[in-house]
A and B are shown apart, each in its own frame.
Chain A
């Protein structure tokens, strides 16, 4: 039977290989994910000569399976299979026999790099970049670089877009003749007929510039950058803005003004809002890349313009950057720049007509207080915060509340509670449930920031009504059991008599959350009677939640109460007419830690002793 042993180990692999072509996408995906197992079983030789050629055309085959099934919705899974294949091949070097043979992986990845699905293509490029590092310098020139050239001069733009991502990985490791060729190919792709390829080239421009010698950056990259930044398609121009960041970091300060700034200025005033949006979105990166001097002279006015842009999307993107921009201003005249140039624009934005702009501003405006210090905050910022807290748009109010903590650090609790607390209490009664929810979510935070006042308690009451149980626990932990007994517990227990069964259930949920934090005494004396009483509720949902609650609070109760009060009730519930009530009662009985004595009485005999 020695032969049969060999078969036993082969059989699972045989299944995996066959399932590479199974009609079920899940099985195919499974096989692809175990590709390394297949390769290991086949050995490096057969992997190279048989498996890889098959994988090279696998994507063609997959599409066929799809047509047979003709199920539209499996298509996304299909991409997943190809995606998995592209990813696997990036880790295949050892399985084909080590770095010596790594070039065998190129054909299947090349074929994947031309499919129309961007995610698959990108993954194939990622794997190609990875295995390029495992090529010896000779192999890189003999195998890898020709592949890059083939892709770069391919008929279809899918292959040319993929090529754009590969230049930067082979450039540093090839001879100067090949380097010149690579630069030429990149140049060609930058002026490709299809915008898809120009976009791919523009998005890789910065990365390619990083591996180029500085002289070539100045001679080649700058002209490409200028050309792409004035492309007729705004979808290309906006990507040049991204490249601007990397290029500016590479150049010495004295060249920036002449080589980069004209293009950047032009982009900040581009006719297309999408390009200006990109400038606004990348503003902090740009600011870091060009340094303090240019920032002061050029970027500050540009930023002001973006904050006043006619397109709301641009204003919103700029508003998002207000804090970061101010933080990164040169320290010596930061306050002066903010007070004279930025703050006036910010003030206008507070009453912007577009709510996205206001909410973007609200999410960062609080951060200005740390930069401007206490006095400026109280004088200039606080009125803005207050205005935003009363904004008609809930998102704006939310964003202010979510960032209260940083103001607190600057102006102190007294000032904060005096000016903002009334507005916050008002928000707790807001008509929009999202705002109330946010208030509840920030309750523990607020409680940490603000002194415990009557008005804060009112907020807590709202929290209870909204059944914010997990926050209740945190609050009790913060303020202690005594506070809970006086403020929260009565409110919670009061709801047990509410005509709405959902509110009655809230009582149970709150008790679940509170029992542990409140301790044995309060739980047994105050909460338990209420829970037990509710076991007679006419709504089955309440009754089975009673069973669940009893199980939950069981560990907190003293054993006497457990034995004499809880158990009879659970046993009664276990004979309830409702199936669910019965089920949960039985669950509770078997899950509760009754005393040994009770165990003997228990009818359950399947216990370990």
Chain B
């Protein structure tokens, strides 16, 4: 694993100037499409930026795999819910790409309340020639029109356009935390704190509630749904995680309402490590199926766990992301960092997993060799095309050279969102308002 990281080069990073970075520029989600040719980011300002991979060219082989801006559009605007006197932020919570269905690309983006289906398409021709106007755009005298002119198409510079094709609204009382497209390519789910809704991608005026954990009396509320995802192949299976650290697997074949789960994954708590923070840090912030559909990965505050779908009582593998923070939970609670929602991703072959940490660090774990590495995404420590150095955090004692003390970690620089190219070793890491794209060394 370390060799692999050694060969990792910083490829290009889309840096917005730190001095002028505003809250709106903070990246809130990042996602590759199913071919890896496109990469989308969403930010707190409601914008979606789509990057496209450069085509391979013989003259500039080093530019292979470079991602450049393809399209930028405003997906969501701030709104106000007059009935509840609530502001609805424009922040993009999640982006999910749809499998390609024609020459255009489609993605779903969501803020707290509304999911939108966007179409991103190209155009390189335009019709020319009017009857009532001459070629310079001047209005012609109607009496001079002696023949009819049908417009003809002329080539023009390539334009990329984004259009909202569908708006799925008014179905969520609470904040949407995740969306997931079904493998049947017909439906998707949107999940908020207490409910999971099933939508048909073509129908916006109705959705079906398939999970509802809202108790009759809200004072009896003990857990919330934190994330949900469809199985990559089985169109009837989806999983959702809870703030109590458990994952439920539901089978939509059994009933229209999936209130009863068919599998329940939970690790029994170790009484010796129980503390005031146990419940908070066991809350799952992300759940992801492996590409082959055999495993589930979950991220809680301190660990990443891999679960075998056939084994409900304990995780198959547990990886410590930043165990050195265990002693600092008190201060992390005070500065609210303990509630940060870190995401986790699989690589294309499900052999490596990646998740974020603080101080612009992100972690990778090789499941076969059991080796792990900490890397840093920062413009200070890396130039484009530079090789990333593994980083180490030391706890107390003597600090060796190129180690960083746990007390000097910057908790405002957190890496919450990362994504891995579906087939290649290319990753995208969102560090506040910066997007870093790393890839294996070419030669």
Say yes or no for B379: interface residue by CB 8 A criterion.
no
Say yes or no: A195 contacts B184, CB within 8 Å. yes
Answer yes or no: A158 CB below 8 A from chain B CBs. yes
The reply to whether A6 and B142 form a contact with Cβ atoms under 8 Å apart is no
Q: Which residues 103-153 of B have a CB within 8 angstroms of A?
A: 103-104, 106, 119, 121, 123, 125-127, 130-133, 142-153
Residue numbers in A under 8 Å from B103 (CB-CB): 156
Which residues of chain A from 40 to 55 have a CB within 8 Å of any chain B CB? 41-42, 46, 50-51, 53-54
Interchain CB contact under 8 A, B253 and A60: no
Q: List 20 A-B contacts (CB under 8 A).
A: A3-B146, A7-B145, A18-B131, A18-B133, A20-B151, A51-B150, A53-B153, A54-B151, A54-B152, A60-B125, A61-B127, A64-B159, A67-B162, A75-B165, A156-B101, A196-B101, A196-B186, A233-B235, A311-B254, A311-B256
Check B150–A63 contact: CB distance below 8 A: no
In the complex, the answer to whether B148 meets A234 with C-beta atoms within 8 Å is: no
Q: Is B99 an interface residue (CB 8 A)?
A: yes
Query: Which chain A residues lie closer than 8 Å to B121 at the CB level?
Result: 63
Size band of the interface chain B makes with A: 35 or more
Main secondary structure of the interface of B (DSSP, over half): loop
Residues in A lying within 8 Å of B, measured CB to CB:
3-4, 6-7, 10-11, 13-15, 17-18, 20-21, 41-42, 46, 50-51, 53-54, 57, 60-61, 63-64, 66-67, 70, 72, 75, 114-116, 118, 156-159, 194-196, 199, 232-235, 270-274, 310-313
Say how far A239's CB is from chain B's closest CB, in angstroms: 11
Is B161 a contact partner of A313 (Cβ separation < 8 A)? no
Q: How far is the CA of A3 from the CA of B143 in the complex (A)?
A: 8
Q: Do the beta carbons of B161 and A67 come within 8 Å of each other?
A: yes
By the criterion CB–CB under 8 Å, are A194 and B236 in contact?
Answer: no
* Alpha-carbon distance between A116 and B99 when the two chains are bound, in angstroms: 12
In Å, the complex CA distance between A3 and B142 comes to: 12
- Once bound together, how far apart are the Cα atoms of A41 and B144, in whole Å? 17
Residue of B with least CB distance to A277: B256
Contact with A10, one of B125, B146, B186, B234 (Cβ below 8 angstroms)? B146
Flag if B151 contacts A271 (CB, 8 Å): no
Contact yes or no, A57 B125, CB < 8 A:
yes
Given A274-B253, A311-B254, residue A6 in contact with residue B101 (CB < 8 A): no
Are the CB atoms of A66 and B163 closer together than 8 Å? yes
CA distance A50 to B150 in the complex (A): 6
> Is B275 an interface residue when CB atoms closer than 8 A count as contact?
no
B142, B183, B185, B254: the one within 8 Å of A7 (CB): B142
* Complex Cα gap A6–B145 (Å): 9
Determine how close the nearest CB of chain B comes to the CB of A356; give it in whole angstroms. Answer: 10
Contact status A42-B236, CB under 8 Å: no
A54 to B148, CA, bound (A): 14
B218 surroundings in chain A (CB, below 8 A): none
Q: Which of B106, B163, B184, B256 contacts A67 (CB 8 A)?
A: B163
Query: Nearest Cβ in chain B — how far from A228, in angstroms?
Result: 14
Report B159-188 CB contacts with A as 1/0, cut-off 8 Å: 101111101000000000000000111100
- B106 in contact with A116 (CB, 8 Å): yes
Q: How many angstroms from the CA of A14 to the CA of B148 in the assembled complex?
A: 6
- A14 surroundings in chain B (CB, below 8 A): 131-132, 142, 145, 148-149
B202 at the interface (CB under 8 A from A): yes
Given contacts A10-B146, A235-B235, 15 further A-B contacts (CB under 8 A): A7-B146, A10-B148, A17-B150, A50-B152, A53-B153, A54-B150, A63-B161, A66-B161, A66-B163, A67-B159, A75-B165, A116-B101, A196-B185, A232-B235, A234-B236
